[in-house]
Chains A and B, each alone.
Chain A
Amino acid sequence: MTPEGLLALVLLGIAAPAVPGIAVKTKSLLTGRRGPPALQLYADLAKLVRKGRVYSRTTTLIFRAGPIVALVSLIVAALFLPLDGREAPARFAGDMVAFAGLLALGRFALVLAAMDTGSSFEGLGASREVTIATFAEPTMFLCFIALVLAAGDLTLSGILGTPLAAAWPHAGASLSLVGVSLFVLLLAENSRVPVDDPATHLELTMIHEVIVLDHSGPDLALILYGSALKLTLFGVLVVSVLVPRAGFSGPAAVALLFAGLGIVAVAVGVVESVMARVRLVRVPQLLVGAAALALVATILQLR
């Protein structure tokens, strides 16, 4: 592992809260409002950490463990991503399954915590969150299959690193399809428009926001930071597929990654300002569309 990679990991952890901030700022500017500052989430986190926790008497240990498990699983997942475009801190054959599993574990912890509150609203949100995940996960694996076939490597370091860069000249069309599919996945997994609207505060229309309603203080801070980190991780996936950085020197590759993350955040903001949230029954169709794209990409590789 290169020192740039380690530095990039630390920087990623620090910069994560800015990514949703940039998306919100873009949306505000495009819709003619001023919006909160791009770094608002840092202030929110600082405020929440200093507050006290409130626990309902209905909740048990599961509720308290939820935010911690969710955040830790995301941090471990981040270790598998080659941030400098070459090599990840941790790698083994088939680690993309571990990556997907860790993301699923984080979601599972939050969903269990939501069910633990005994609130009917949170149960509703938990069921929706899991439904969307059911459709999102096959798409993610199809994307990984296409990438594995293109790069001929079984590690995330390989399919997002040097072998992928070598595959771009002859598999560009297929890889761009994977990139688009991953972007739709990013919107779905992180509860952004058109799948969920993070700006609403009406329990019946929101998905991710509703399952964290009962968390308070430092717990909520962990969850908010976790959501930002998850968005950033998916951003890293999209950027790594669309802009292979193995040809650049370490610092340049890291700089390119963060520039790419900024562009992804702006793209999320643009999507949010030009689209409305789709009806819940139409969400699976959106994700099946993304899966179809990934399937076509896979077929192109198999040819």
Chain B
Amino acid sequence: MRNAAQIVLLLVVLSDLAILGTSRLSSCIRGLAAQGFLLGLLPVLIAPHVSVHAASLAVGTVIVKAVALPWFLTWAIREAAVRREIEPIVGFIASQLLGALAVALAFAIASRLPLPGMQQPLLVPVSLATLIIGFVVLTTRRKALVQVVGYLILENGIYLFGLTQTESVPFLIELGVLLDIFVGVFIMGIVVFHINREFDSLDSTRLTELSD
């Protein structure tokens, strides 16, 4: 189980890097869905024994992160008719290198974080790496939808960090967090839809032209 969890965590990092390197919005969303599915597997793989708590958290995560959100984002790009991130502020090669740097930084920080009773040595570095890569996507892309993807990657990083404490966090709070994200992305989707209708584009830099 421990090795399986390690491989899943590595695949999470790879999905981060894949999202950084792609310009097609649909592949971005597919990468996000894959990441959500991997995150859903983790509670079961990490838990010392299979509990109802871990299993229901896994099912909830897969439903929200791997099915509902990607489906909603796919709907949004179809409605807004955008296909690609044309010119990000930081190019795809540079952002992939930034991603690799983020992974290095995350491992360096994690080795200095004293966390008691860690079962999974990879969990903290991977969560930090995912956090930073989420930030990179959020800040370096122009299209509002990719920024939503960046926000979700950021959130996935926080979720991973939360997994270190699964045993002590009540189930209801976790479900609440999942629901919050779902509602948040829903609202973002509607905002994105309105930006698109107002400006005929999803370029969030054009929001500076807003005035009454």
The reply to whether the CB of B51 lies closer than 8 angstroms to some CB of chain A is no
Q: Which of B7, B92, B100 contacts A296 (CB 8 A)?
A: B100
Which residue of A172, A173, A292, A300 contacts B96 across the interface (Cβ within 8 Å)? A292
Docked complex Cα distance between A296 and B20 (Å): 15
- Is B104 in contact with A295, judged by CB distance below 8 angstroms? yes
Say if the beta carbon of A291 comes within 8 Å of chain B. yes
The answer to whether B3 and A292 have CB atoms under 8 Å apart is no
Q: Tell me the A275-303 residues at the B interface (CB within 8 Å).
A: 284-285, 288-289, 291-293, 295-296, 299-300, 302-303
Q: Is A177 an interface residue (CB 8 A)?
A: yes
* A284 to B99 CA separation, bound complex (whole angstroms): 16
Give min CB distance, A140 to chain B, whole Å.
16
Nearest-neighbor residue (CB-CB) of B3 within chain A: A172
Q: Are B21 and A173 in contact (CB under 8 A)?
A: no
Q: Which residues in chain A, 130-173, are within 8 Å of chain B measured between CB atoms?
A: 172-173
Give the complex CA separation of A119 and B104 in angstroms: 45
B103 at the interface (CB under 8 A from A): yes
Q: Within the complex, which residue of B14, B92, B107 is in contact with A299, where a contact is CB–CB below 8 Å?
A: B107
State in angstroms the CA–CA spacing of A289 and B100 once bound together. 9
Contact A296 B13 (CB under 8 A): yes
CB pair A295–B100 under 8 Å, yes or no, is: yes
Assess the A291–B10 pair: CB atoms within 8 A.
Answer: no
Residues 74-94 of chain B, each 1 if its beta carbon lies under 8 Å from chain A, else 0: 000000000000000000110
Chain A min CB distance to B90 (Å): 13
| Closest Cβ–Cβ distance, residue B120 to chain A (whole Å) | 13
Given contacts A173-B6, A299-B103, A303-B107, contact A293 B14 (CB under 8 A): yes
Q: Which of B49-99 contact A (CB under 8 A)?
A: 92-93, 96-97, 99
CA distance A303 to B111 in the complex (A): 8
Q: Is the CB of A289 within 8 A of B104?
A: no
In angstroms, Cα B132 to Cα A76, docked, is 45
Cα A94 to Cα B121 with chains together (Å): 32
Complex alpha-carbon distance, A284 and B111, angstroms: 32
Q: Whole-angstrom distance between the alpha carbons of A292 and B7 in the complex?
A: 17
- Please report the C-alpha to C-alpha distance between residue A303 and residue B122 in the assembled complex, in whole angstroms: 10
Given contacts A173-B10, A177-B10, is CB(A289)–CB(B107) below 8 Å? no
Contacts of B111 in A (CB 8 A): 303
Residues of B within 8 A of A300 (CB): 10, 107
A173 and B7 within 8 A (CB) = yes
A288 lies within 8 A of B6 (CB): no
**Residue A285 contacts which of B3, B7, B93, B103 (CB distance < 8 angstroms)?**
B93
Chain B residues in 8 Å Cβ range of A172: 3
Assuming A177-B10, A285-B21, A293-B14, is B93 touching A299 (CB within 8 A)?
no
Q: Which residue of B lies closest to A294 (CB)?
A: B100
How far, in angstroms, from A302 to B121 measured CA to CA in the complex?
13
CB distance from A283 to the nearest CB of B (A): 11
Give chain B residues whose Cβ lies under 8 Å from the Cβ of A288: 21, 93, 96-97
CB distance from B187 to the nearest CB of A (A): 34
Nearest chain-A residue to B110 (Cβ)? A303
Cβ distance A172 to chain B, nearest Cβ, rounded Å: 7
B17 at the interface (CB under 8 A from A): yes
Give chain A interface residues in 244-303, CB to chain B under 8 Å. Answer: 284-285, 288-289, 291-293, 295-296, 299-300, 302-303
CB of B122, distance to nearest CB on chain A (Å): 8
Q: How far is the CA of A59 from the CA of B121 in the complex (A)?
A: 60
B154 to chain A, nearest CB (A): 20
Chain B residues packing against A (C-beta within 8 Å): 3, 6-7, 10, 13-14, 17, 21, 92-93, 96-97, 99-100, 103-104, 107, 111, 121, 125
7 residue pairs from A and B, CB less than 8 Å apart: A284-B93, A288-B96, A289-B96, A292-B99, A295-B100, A296-B17, A300-B107
Query: Which 3 pairs from chain A and chain B are nearest by CB?
Result: A292-B100, A295-B100, A288-B93
Given A292-B17, A292-B96, 19 more A-B residue pairs with CB atoms under 8 Å apart are: A172-B3, A173-B3, A177-B10, A284-B93, A285-B92, A285-B93, A285-B96, A289-B17, A291-B100, A292-B99, A292-B100, A293-B14, A295-B103, A295-B104, A296-B100, A296-B103, A299-B104, A300-B107, A303-B121
